[in-house]
Amino acid sequence: MIKILKSLLPATVAVMGLGEAAAIAQNNAPVPVPVTVTVDTTRAGPVIDRNIYGQFAEHLGRGIYEGVWVGEDSPISNTSGYRNDVVAALRRLRVPVVRWPGGCFADEYHWRDGIGPRTQRPVRVNTHWGGVTESNHFGTHEFLNFAELIGADAYVSGNLGSGTPQEMAEWVEYMTSGSQSTLANERRRNGRDRPWRVRFFGFGNETWGCGGSMRADHSADLHRRYQTFVKAPREAPIVRVASGANSDDTNFTDVMMERARGQMDALSLHYYTIPDSWQNKGPATGFGEDKWASTLRAARRIDDLITRHKAVMDRHDPERRVGLFVDEWGAWYEPEPGSTPGFLYQQNTLRDAHVAALSLNIFHRHTDRVRMTNIAQMVNVLQAMILTDGPRMLLTPTYHVFEMYVPFQGATPLAATVEAPEYRFGDISLPRVDVSAARDTSGRLHLALVNLDPNRPARVVTNVTGMTVRGARGRLLTGPALDTHNSFDQPDRIQPAAYSGRVEGGRLVLDLPAKSVAVVAVE
């Protein structure tokens, strides 16, 4: 071991004893930045809805086919066609809800294409994503059974763009009716006796864009019309989700709330983190500190967007009955070289772990209105939890953040403030450390901390009111490079490590490495 360690040191250090080398390394290490975090346990917000940790699976690239569904005859280990490794990984995340079938795909999807014997289902062309053929082998039964398999609720997006109110109403009846109607009995003949529980139903997707290029007033009128005919069983009502705004278009939110708030239970909002522009998204790997900083700045922008859309919704709905669903969010870069551009396949790095953690912390601060979010997307597309290559599978840094944050599902957020100098790069200024604090359902306090500075560690001293702190244990995620990532040859290059704090003078102290995410349970 000593020989190995010496071989990694500069020649001038290798001739010294290891103690001397360690001392030099410590002297050359950046001085930790002092940070003070104050948690007020007497100031609690509305509970963090589990659905804030929702997923999104669109018929896009290899997100469904190969990513989730391989078919019963595949040599890849599967159960009833669902690949076992992916199912097991998603179960560990305790996925609360999955949105399907889109996305843009939803408003060209006709549900009857995806029921009945698979060999008899029509083959279509996926005009939005790659122009490839869609076999429709993964349809209503396959999705809803998959949701049950991983223990998640179903969020189904209906076709408001090219479908009819009748088509939408019949789909809901087919899925949810326990009656002896023709549609319910057709479902039974196709293999499902009891109805499924579809908790959430979306009326279209991005009606302002790929869902129909509509103006806000027309979108509101169509929502009112279509939802009139969609009727779920009285004992199993659905949450009606209206297609909402893109990014900072608060006028769209204003019109939807003014004209259709009585006919919805939630309104969607879409926002993607892009380092520069839609025309120049930049690569997922091989970037410098400039792209690190610009990406995290873009990720933090969702805080301001939610605040602005909430203010508009509050004018029309001061009781906050209507939820805000950020049902598409995440980082979007250029596709991986050599991949099909329309498949939106990108690597996932330590930078994406920070995007995920920052976004989740922000959602925790808006639980008065934000009751669901769905990261785009679950497998093999954009900021994915999981990447696959035939029979091989890996977990991404984003997956690890979601798994570390599981204790926050259903927890009660607490007021937390941070005092620290900013991290600066060029004209970009960012908080050096971002924090979220919450009590889980058993009353235990959890802290999530994100060190945005890629160069300097932070020494975080906490003031926790209302409790005596004895320590903290959890896990930490970091890596040697800004773009540290897992590959199929090295699937465990970046993964969480055990991590703990200490108590000094009655206060919890956490040494937070540069570019790291930590989640701890406070003792």
Residues 348-381 have pLDDT tens digits of 999 999 999 999 999 999 999 999 999 999 999 9
Predicted local distance difference test score (pLDDT) of residue 55: 98
Specify whether the backbone of 23 is left (phi greater than 0), alpha (psi in -120 to 50) or beta: alpha
Q: Which homologous superfamily is 50-410 in?
A: Glycosidases (3.20.20.80)
pLDDT band at 160 (very low <50, low <70, confident <90, very high): very high
- Flag whether the pTM goes above 0.85: yes
pLDDT above 80 (res 450): yes
Indicate whether 25 pLDDT > 60.
no
Q: Is 399 within 8 Å of 385 (Cβ atoms)? A: yes
Which of the residues 328, 336, 419, 422 is marked catalytic? 328
Mean pLDDT of 410-430: 97
Enter the tokens of residue 300.
């933090």
The model's pLDDT over 31-45, given as tens digits with 9 standing for 90+, comes to 999 999 999 999 999
What pLDDT is recorded for position 264?
A: 98
Domain(s) of CATH 3.20.20.80: residues in the chain? 50-410
Which one, of 252, 279, 280, lies nearest residue 268 by Cα? 252
Mean per-residue pLDDT for 268-286?
96
How far CA 149 is from CA of 7, 39, 65, 387, 409, in Å, comes to: 50, 38, 17, 20, 20
Strands (E), 176-316: 200-203, 239-246, 266-273
Torsion of CA 468, 470, 473, 477, to 10 degrees: 70
320-354 burial, b for 16+ CB within 10 Å, e for fewer? eebbbbbbbbbbbbebbeeeeebbbbbbbbbbbbb
> Distances in Å between the alpha carbon of 467 and those of 54, 405, 462, 506?
32, 22, 12, 10
For domain 32-45+414-522, the CATH class is mainly beta
Q: Does 419 qualify as catalytic in the annotation?
A: no
Which residue in 266, 301, 279, 475 sits closest to 374, CA to CA? 266
% of the chain at pLDDT higher than 90: 93
Q: Is the per-residue pLDDT at 400 higher than 90?
A: yes
Whether the predicted pLDDT of 232 surpasses 60: yes
User: What does the pLDDT read at residue 29?
Assistant: 77
| The pLDDT of residue 27 | 52
Would you say residue 90 has pLDDT above 60?
Answer: yes
What is d(CA 495, CA 401) in angstroms, rounded to the nearest whole number? 9
Mean pLDDT of the chain: 94
Give residue for tokens 């948690």. 39
Nearest to 435 by CA among 508, 326, 498: 508
328 is catalytic: yes
What confidence tens digit (pLDDT) does each residue in 333-356 have?
A: 999 999 999 999 999 999 999 999
Read off the pLDDT of each residue in 230-252 and give the average, rounded to a whole number. 97
Q: What confidence category does residue 8 fall into, taking pLDDT thresholds of 50, 70 and 90? A: very low
Q: Average pLDDT in the 390-402 region?
A: 98
Average pLDDT over residues 15-27: 37
206, 334, 336, 422: the active-site residue = 206
CATH 2.60.40.1180 residue ranges of the chain are: 32-45+414-522
Joined together, the tokens standing for residue 355 give 């995007």
How many Å apart are CA 176 and CA 169, to the nearest integer? 11
Neighbouring residues of 189: CB distance < 8 A, sequence distance ≥ 6: none
Least confident of 148-157, 403-412, 461-470: 461-470
SS3 257: helix
| Mean pLDDT along residues 275-289 | 95
